[in-house]
Chains A and B, each alone.
Chain A
Amino acid sequence: MNWVNVLLQGVLLGGFYALLACGLSLMFGVMRIINLAHGDIAVIGAYLIWVIVNQTQIPPWLAALLVLPIMWVAGYAMYVLLLERSRRAGLLVPLLTTFGLAIVIQNVLLQVFSPDDHSLLSSTGTLATSSVSFGGLSISIFGVLTLATAVIVLSGLQLFLSRTTAGRQMRATAEDPGVAELVGINARSVYAKATAIAVAIAGLGGIFLAIRQTFNPSTGPTQLIFAFEAVVIGGFGSPWGTLLGGIVLGVAQVIGAQVNPQYFVLFGHLVFLAVLASPRGGILDRRGRAL
């Protein structure tokens, strides 16, 4: 029964990674940009909700509703001010500028909030720690909530991309921005929207991060790596590939920790490298390129 518990824990953890990976995958799918500041942006979301909750004493769920639109606007601004120019300057330039942005974000956070660990634990009560027992299994309530949120966000994104005009235009722009312009789509505005959505979802990931663990200004890079591993293991394919990738990563880490607590991160990395080394380079095929 212990191993079933471990697997379950890994699956729930995978939900968190899938949530982190969503935005990364969306930006890559639509613009072919890998945002190296993605993890740090999630950490901004964590600090933002921490500040709001601590300054106003409003309940965390209400603060979360405030964080999302702020992150949305920040994402839009990030596209207009940084990515638009980077994208036009060449394929590799967005990597250079988003890495520069990551350094800036980490160190501004360091300057403002000190290197100390922060956490939302004191404001969220027992949410992060309570669990229910079910037939010998111990199920973390917050873990289930995270996984459910990931599933909702992924399905929402899927519906948005397939059913709405804005979503279809996003897919069209991802496939051929030049022709998209010729049928009246403003590719620049589509890209800005995609970035805004990606950053808002990263912010949501940051909110869950703030509740489930302590964080500090250098938490971001690890989140980026985990999100990226989830996307790659899932095969850069569908939203469900990302979810599956997150779950595989989570399970690998939890199994690693079971072998030796120091192997937690290592096992995830090794599964990632094994997937890269495999002939197909992913466990799902690569159809459905947008997201």
Chain B
Amino acid sequence: MIRARSAPLPGGFRVQRWTRVSIASGVVTIAIIAVLAVVPFLFGADVTEQLTALLIFVILAVMWNALAGYGGLISVGQQAFIGLGAYGTIFLTQHGFAPYLAMVVAGLGSGAVAIPASLIMLRLRGGQFAIGMWVLAEVFGILVTLDTGLGGGTGVSLNGLNVFAPGYRQAYTFWLTLACATVLLGLVFILLRRRIGTSLQAVRDDEAAAASLGVNVVRSKRVLFVVAAAGCGIAGALYLANTLFIQTNSVFGVQWTAYMLFMVLVGGLGTFEGPIIGAIIFYLIQAQFGDSGAWYFVGLGATAIAFALFLPHGIWGSIDRRLQLRLLPVGYTLRKLETPVSGTGEPRADA
């Protein structure tokens, strides 16, 4: 792997990861996190709650994109882990865990459950994986429904957070969400920047060829699968903390996949920044049209189809292609004579 920041290559090229823009955006990222961290001091509980919801969407979108955009794994069943994280939190608090600790443990537990699940699921390809995951989510949902201790199908509340005054509770939940989002996004960023990112892109582009070059396809996918499961599990736990009440139907529902698909396709499948943009757009659309009932979902579905067919790189991907912007560089930039040639980890033939 090329480690040097600007290694000279034959032909006058040099490889660059951090451009001036991306260093600047790294600084801005840290600043944004810092500003977000003080939001609970400046605004009321309602704003904090809204921002928590947005950050949960960001986590979900980034996780789904890590699977689909980098691993080539389209999952229709990530709600399996969202539900597991939420109900795991309930279960742990019922058994004496402090609520916030329970959330983190339940999230990590979802990742642990993903390890045996990956043994079956990663044998599947394409659409088989998609529906296989869906069945897994259904199974988890049914199993939870069968446990009356978890409220059966009628739903269950998270107790234990009422020791905090509502304003403080909301602030704590927000800070935990912000911390989890930062850690998870950072983890995905680092994963994709390291060797596994390059090998996963190779896998996505041509699995057979990548395997023949010695890329450990299954291991790379398994790492992503487990990370995405843990991320979705934590998102599910945080969702519970933000709403305080869950039902199996909604938390194990396939509408989560619809949301994730929409956010990632609109933002930009296979880009690091895209899903974050997609989550913000989705959040705004939901705030605006969320009450319009069925037509709102028709719009989501139709928009997702339109993006998949006509703008496959999403909003961010399209901006990026035009402007060669790369705020948080997952890939490499190949430069010659100070002219930007290509902006991604994949070699672009059209350069």
> Direct A–B touching in the complex (beta carbon < 8 Å)?
yes
| Chain A residues engaging chain B, CB cutoff 8 angstroms | 28, 32-34, 36, 82, 85-86, 89-97, 99-104, 106-108, 110-111, 221, 224-225, 228-229, 232, 262, 265-266, 269-270, 272-273, 276-277, 281
CA distance A125 to B139 in the complex (A): 35
Binary flags per residue of B52-66, CB closer than 8 Å to A gives 1, else 0: 000000000000000
CA distance A114 to B53 in the complex (A): 29
Across the two chains, which residue of chain A brings its CB closest to B119?
A277
Contacting residue for A93 out of B76, B143, B308, CB 8 A: B308
Contacting residue for A229 out of B135, B145, B293, CB 8 A: B135
The A interface, classified by DSSP as helix, strand, loop or mixed, is helix
Q: What are some 11 contacts across the A-B interface (CB < 8 A)?
A: A28-B127, A92-B72, A96-B305, A100-B305, A104-B301, A104-B305, A106-B297, A110-B293, A221-B134, A221-B254, A265-B138
User: Is A33 in contact with B138, judged by CB distance below 8 angstroms?
Assistant: no
Contacting residue for B305 out of A101, A224, A270, CB 8 A: A101
Contacting residue for B128 out of A34, A265, A273, CB 8 A: A34
User: Is A95 in contact with B293, judged by CB distance below 8 angstroms?
Assistant: no
User: Is B308 in contact with A96, judged by CB distance below 8 angstroms?
Assistant: yes
Across the two chains, which residue of chain B brings its CB closest to A114?
B294
Across the two chains, which residue of chain A brings its CB closest to B258?
A103
* Nearest chain A CB to B126 CB, angstrom units: 6
Across the two chains, which residue of chain B brings its CB closest to A82?
B305
Across the two chains, which residue of chain B brings its CB closest to A266?
B142
Across the two chains, which residue of chain A brings its CB closest to B153?
A262
Check A99/B135 contact, CB under 8 A, given A34-B127, A107-B301, A111-B298. no
Kindly list chain B residues whose C-beta atoms are within 8 Å of the C-beta of A270.
139
User: Is A100 in contact with B126, judged by CB distance below 8 angstroms?
Assistant: no
CA distance A82 to B302 in the complex (A): 11
CA distance A95 to B132 in the complex (A): 13
Check A224/B131 contact, CB under 8 A, given A96-B265, A104-B302, A276-B123. yes
Contacting residue for A100 out of B119, B138, B254, B302, CB 8 A: B302
CA distance A94 to B130 in the complex (A): 12
Q: Which B residues from 113 to 142 make CB contacts under 8 A with A?
A: 119-120, 123-124, 126-128, 130-132, 134-136, 138-139, 142
Check A269/B305 contact, CB under 8 A, given A92-B68, A93-B312. no
* Nearest chain A CB to B302 CB, angstrom units: 6
Q: How large is the interface on B (under 10, 10 to 19, 20 to 34, 35 or more residues)?
A: 35 or more
**A104-B305, A272-B135 given; 16 more Cβ-contact pairs under 8 Å:** A33-B127, A85-B309, A94-B127, A95-B126, A96-B74, A99-B76, A99-B261, A100-B261, A108-B298, A221-B254, A225-B138, A266-B139, A269-B139, A269-B142, A276-B120, A277-B120
Kindly list chain A residues whose C-beta atoms are within 8 Å of the C-beta of B308.
86, 89, 93, 96-97, 100
B146 within 8 A of A: yes
| Chain B residues engaging chain A, CB cutoff 8 angstroms | 68, 72, 74, 76, 119-120, 123-124, 126-128, 130-132, 134-136, 138-139, 142-143, 145-146, 254, 257-258, 261, 265, 293-295, 297-298, 300-302, 304-305, 308-309, 312
User: Is A225 in contact with B135, judged by CB distance below 8 angstroms?
Assistant: yes
Kindly list chain A residues whose C-beta atoms are within 8 Å of the C-beta of B76.
36, 99
User: Is B305 in contact with A97, judged by CB distance below 8 angstroms?
Assistant: yes
User: Is A96 in contact with B139, judged by CB distance below 8 angstroms?
Assistant: no
Q: Which 3 residue pairs across A and B have the least CB separation, nearest first?
A: A34-B127, A103-B301, A100-B305
Check A86/B309 contact, CB under 8 A, given A104-B301, A225-B138. yes
Check A96/B72 contact, CB under 8 A, given A111-B295, A269-B139, A276-B124. no
Contacting residue for A103 out of B126, B134, B142, B297, CB 8 A: B297
Across the two chains, which residue of chain B brings its CB closest to A111?
B294
Check A92/B305 contact, CB under 8 A, given A107-B294, A269-B135. no
* Nearest chain B CB to A3 CB, angstrom units: 24
* Nearest chain B CB to A266 CB, angstrom units: 5
CA distance A103 to B301 in the complex (A): 5
User: Is A101 in contact with B301, judged by CB distance below 8 angstroms?
Assistant: yes
Contacting residue for A92 out of B74, B145, B257, CB 8 A: B74
Kindly list chain A residues whose C-beta atoms are within 8 Å of the C-beta of B139.
266, 269-270, 273
Kindly list chain A residues whose C-beta atoms are within 8 Å of the C-beta of B298.
103-104, 107-108, 111
Contacting residue for B127 out of A36, A86, A100, A110, CB 8 A: A36
Across the two chains, which residue of chain A brings its CB closest to B300?
A103
CA distance A108 to B297 in the complex (A): 9
